[in-house]
Amino acid sequence: MIHTTSNMAENYYLGLDLSTQQLKCTLINENHDIVLEEAINFDKDLSEFGTVHGAIVDDNVVTSPTLMWVKALDLLLTRLKDSPYVGSIRGISGAGQQHGSVYWNKEGLEQLSNLDPTKSMYEQLDNAFSIQQSPIWQDASTTTECRALEKSVGGAEALAKLTGSKAYERFTGNQIAKIYHNNRKAYDETARIGLVSSLLSSLLLGKFGPVDAAEGSGTNMMDINSHKWDSKLLKQCGGDELQEKLAEEPVEGGEALGKISGYLVKRYGFNANCRVMPFTGDNSATLVSMNLSEGDCVVSLGTSDTVLVYLKKGAAEPTTESHLMAHPTDPEGFMGMLCYKNGSLAREYIRNSYANGSWDEFNEYLINKEAMAEGNIGFYYWMQEIIPFAKGIYRFEDSKAVEEFKDKTINVKAIVESQFMSMRIRLERMGGNSIKRILASGGAAANPNILQLLSNVLGLPVYRQQGMNGASLGGALLAKFGTVKNASFEDMMAQHPSAGLELICKPDLEKTKQYISHVGQFTDLEKKIVQ
Ligand code: XUL
């Protein structure tokens, strides 16, 4: 745990982020300074659940134990209890990995509202879920349900227009449809369905909490313009009874859901007036933490790599390749997003296979080797990729497929270049010509060599925010926004301009020109490998 000394009379705001591999938290004061950060790592701290990188992978079926997340919150709060801040926290919000779903049974909901403060939540909620393994965003096993959902509204484009995205395997509606069709007993035993984000708000409230509109847009079931569940889509995904299992319409960010549960007040010493705000998706929270101005684009390099832009009303067009999601603090605005599944874990495989597990060696090859400039292009999809829909590893020398590059260490530069080329091409298709700078976040943003390559491929300067936990910092800012509520989000941020963004690199425009000259070749090769 890191924390700095601070004035105890102050108010504090807590942000949580239940991501794929960890549960993280960030605590800020009134001036938005970070006073504490803490994390529970699932593989290391909760190894009894047997996850690898936070998940259980069975080919295209990818899940996480729901109870592991409950136990992670127990553990995090136990650590926080020892800090001097808990009684002065006025609001809590946060984020979860998007799309993952949680299935509460009736007894579980009763138990949740009657927790005994002498025991942990984990001990008392062990029979609370009708599905023990929550499907998560890395799952790719619902292609049949996706095609059926698209067909039910007249095709992929029609679904994208209605919900902001065509049907994607990981989107919650398609996951629910799979359970509805293949596991009806468990479906019938389910009283409420929530998301990873709303699991946290529910545990904090001591009752089932709704999802926010940003999270609703990751389900393929919410109307992207009205922010209401679409009854046709609900029926297609889970029959007439799904509406009741979701319980409430999505809510807008910043509307307090209620006060923290008496259980948490008694067990951990929270202030009884501490409010719980809606939790959002990890990408939406990262967007919030960066407080974007026009022309900004976030590139988040984490377990998944994502590209995020803030689109004001009227500037947003849904496409079948990108996602349009409700904005977490601007009810009229949108977040445009690209999401790649093979992010950090894929880069780590390459580091282990070709750079002796050393980031120093990895960096040396990034700086001193040439891949695309010398005709070498690679595509690296260990897991079923989202953009493009492809799986496997493919290498090309002068556009000819090869098993391996003559110099194997070229794989290092090739994986990073190919990810950024894909972003360049998709951003252009999304109408991203007005982008003026890149704001980098996520674990790999700590590596300036990766950021220099990003800058060269996109031809834009790259800035980085201090503090690496964008989503939990965004959560803490949402907690303050919902608690204080006397200003717009922009005004709240303007009152406390943070130390700001640090310029990490400027593009080498000669290199950018070279990358642009390879766009056609890259696009043609990519077409060859798409299933
Ligand atoms: C976004 C997505 C991932 C997860 C990762 O659509 O699937 O970025 O949110 O946590």
Query: Mind spelling out the 3-state secondary structure of 197-243?
Result: HHHHHHHHHCCCCCCEHHHHCCCCCECCCCCCECHHHHHHHHCCCHH
pLDDT tens, 277-289?
999 999 999 999 9
Mark residue 223 as left, alpha or beta (left: phi above 0; alpha: psi -120 to 50; beta: remaining). beta
- Count of Cβ atoms closer than 10 Å to residue 49 Cβ: 16
pLDDT tens, 327-359?
999 999 999 999 999 999 999 999 999 999 999
**The amino acid at 361:** E
pLDDT tens, 402-454?
999 999 999 999 999 999 999 999 988 876 678 999 999 988 999 999 999 99
Q: How many A from CA of 173 to the centre of ligand 1?
A: 15
Give the β-pairing of 400-402 and 392-397: antiparallel
> What is the model's pLDDT at position 85?
97
> What is the model's pLDDT at position 1?
56
For residue 373, how far is the Cα from the chain centroid? 33
As a whole number of angstroms, the longest Cα–Cα distance in the chain is: 67
Burial (CB < 10 A; 0-12, 13-18, 19+), residue 252, is middle
- Among 214-218, 226-230, 367-371, 486-490, the minimum mean pLDDT is found in 486-490
Query: Quick check: 5 pLDDT over 90?
Result: no
Omega before residue 388 within 30° of 0, cis: yes
Query: Quick check: 387 pLDDT over 50?
Result: yes
Report the candidate in 520, 516, 499 with the shortest Cα–Cα distance to residue 507. 516
Q: How many A from CA of 375 to the centre of ligand 1?
A: 32
Q: How many A from CA of 23 to the centre of ligand 1?
A: 15
> What is the model's pLDDT at position 291?
86
Q: How many A from CA of 509 to the centre of ligand 1?
A: 31
> What is the model's pLDDT at position 153?
98
> What is the model's pLDDT at position 429?
81
Tokens read off for 193: 């369905």
Q: How many A from CA of 236 to the centre of ligand 1?
A: 24
pLDDT tens, 495-505?
887 656 899 99
Nearest CA to ligand 1 atom 10: 97
Nearest CA to ligand 1 atom 8: 304
- Please choose from 97, 166, 171, 217 the residue to mutate so as to test ligand 1's pocket, defined by most ligand atoms within 8 A of CB: 97
Q: Are 501 and 463 in contact (CB under 8 A)?
A: yes
Return the ligand 1 atom nearest residue 323 CA.
6
Q: How many A from CA of 137 to the centre of ligand 1?
A: 6
- Please choose from 283, 298, 385, 419 the residue to mutate so as to test ligand 1's pocket, defined by most ligand atoms within 8 A of CB: 283
| Dist CA 329 CA 491 (whole Å) | 12
**The amino acid at 293:** S
For residue 387, how far is the Cα from the chain centroid? 16
Return the ligand 1 atom nearest residue 386 CA.
7
Beta bridge partners of 394: 379
pLDDT tens, 202-233?
999 999 999 999 999 999 999 999 999 999 99
| Dist CA 106 CA 372 (whole Å) | 56
pLDDT tens, 128-144?
999 999 999 999 999 99
Query: Quick check: 469 pLDDT over 70?
Result: yes
Return the ligand 1 atom nearest residue 168 CA.
6
Q: How many A from CA of 455 to the centre of ligand 1?
A: 23
Return the ligand 1 atom nearest residue 300 CA.
8
Phi, psi of 144 (to 5 degrees): -60, -45
Mean pLDDT value of segment 245-264? 95
> What is the model's pLDDT at position 514?
98
Residues with Cβ within 6 A of ligand 1? Answer: 19-20, 97-99, 137, 170, 218, 281-283, 304, 306, 339
| Dist CA 515 CA 418 (whole Å) | 10
Q: How many A from CA of 184 to the centre of ligand 1?
A: 27
Tokens read off for 526: 């990519």
Query: Quick check: 32 pLDDT over 80?
Result: yes
pLDDT tens, 43-60?
999 999 999 999 999 999
Q: How many A from CA of 4 to the centre of ligand 1?
A: 31
Q: How many A from CA of 302 to the centre of ligand 1?
A: 10
Query: Quick check: 516 pLDDT over 80?
Result: yes
Nearest CA to ligand 1 atom 2: 98
Return the ligand 1 atom nearest residue 170 CA.
7
- Count of Cβ atoms closer than 10 Å to residue 53 Cβ: 14
- Please choose from 17, 138, 339, 385 the residue to mutate so as to test ligand 1's pocket, defined by most ligand atoms within 8 A of CB: 339
Q: How many A from CA of 105 to the centre of ligand 1?
A: 26
Burial (CB < 10 A; 0-12, 13-18, 19+), residue 19, is buried
- Among 24-38, 376-390, 444-458, 462-476, the minimum mean pLDDT is found in 462-476
Q: Are 254 and 331 in contact (CB under 8 A)?
A: no
| Dist CA 474 CA 479 (whole Å) | 9
Whole-number mean pLDDT of the chain?
94
Query: Which residues in 170-202 are b (16+ Cβ under 10 Å) and which e?
Result: bbbbbbbbbbbbeeeebbebbbbbbbbbbbbbb
Which one-letter DSSP state was computed for residue 99? S
94 vs 27, 191, 208, 407, 524, CA distance in Å? 11, 24, 16, 45, 41
Q: Are 3 and 36 in contact (CB under 8 A)?
A: yes
Return the ligand 1 atom nearest residue 306 CA.
8
**The amino acid at 512:** T
Question: Which residue's entry shows tokens 């009205």?
Answer: 226
Tokens read off for 430: 């999304």
Return the ligand 1 atom nearest residue 99 CA.
7
pLDDT tens, 294-325?
789 999 999 999 999 988 877 778 889 899 99
> What is the model's pLDDT at position 430?
75
> What is the model's pLDDT at position 6?
47
Return the ligand 1 atom nearest residue 281 CA.
9
Q: How many A from CA of 97 to the centre of ligand 1?
A: 6
Q: How many A from CA of 304 to the centre of ligand 1?
A: 6
Query: Which residues in 209-246 are b (16+ Cβ under 10 Å) and which e?
Result: bbbbbbbbbbbbbbbbeebebbeebbebbbbeebeebb
Return the ligand 1 atom nearest residue 19 CA.
10
- Please choose from 287, 304, 308, 344 the residue to mutate so as to test ligand 1's pocket, defined by most ligand atoms within 8 A of CB: 304
Query: Mind spelling out the 3-state secondary structure of 93-118?
Result: EEEECCCCEEEECHHHHHHHCCCCCC
How many helices (H) and strands (E) the chain has is answered by 22, 23
> What is the model's pLDDT at position 422?
97
Question: Which residue's entry shows tokens 């529970």?
Answer: 40
